[in-house]
Amino acid sequence: MPRPTKWRRVAFMPQVTYFKPAGVPARLLEGVALSVEELEAIRLKDLEGLQQEECAERMRISRPTFHRVLESARQKVADALINGKAVRIEGGNFALASQRFRCRRDGHEWRVPFEAVVSRLPLACPRCDSPSVLPVQPAGPALRGRGWGHEGGRGHRQGGGR
């Protein structure tokens, strides 16, 4: 049985999740899917200019794993640019750096850090101690209708409240 994939910490959710070559109808294009953690790797390394070790620390993964994620992302982007393909940002195996939860009983909202979310500790409302809590989905089109913190775009929730 393979090891479970370690969740990658993501601090940024894109507002734009689809890019295509100008002048070509989307129905005629092939596409590549870039996972949210692949986008985060590009953002940290290529946009922020961080060293791979710091990028890996921020995503809470090993340096070799970060290198594999980054190389996969760069290969997909190069394929799209060179071969005129659309890029779709979706799916992956990630959890947000800080997740908001809402109490079903009193509506109170609060943030839970990444480490607590991925450790799957039982959550309770800090105001009324009710165990009936729900994750609050991040705003924006990146995740609308597809769940969040999911693998392979199949909408399996991860990091949900218990």
pLDDT of residue 120: 61
Contact 147, 94 (CB under 8 A): no
Percent of the chain predicted with pLDDT > 70: 78
Write the DSSP string, 118-162: HTTPPP--TTT--S-EEEPPPSSTTTTTT-SS-STTS----S---
For residue 36, what are the β-bridge partners?
none
In a domain, 106, yes or no: no
- Per the structure, the complete domain to which residue 33 belongs is given by 8-89
In a domain, 59, yes or no: yes
Residue appearing with tokens 């995503």: 59
In a domain, 21, yes or no: yes
Ordered per-residue pLDDT tens for the chain, 162 residues: 787 777 888 888 888 899 999 999 999 999 999 999 999 999 999 999 999 999 999 999 999 999 999 999 999 999 999 999 999 999 888 877 767 888 989 999 888 876 676 666 667 888 998 988 877 765 544 443 333 443 333 333 333 333
Q: State the total domains in the chain.
A: 1
20: CATH:
1.10.10
Provide the 8-state DSSP code for 26. G
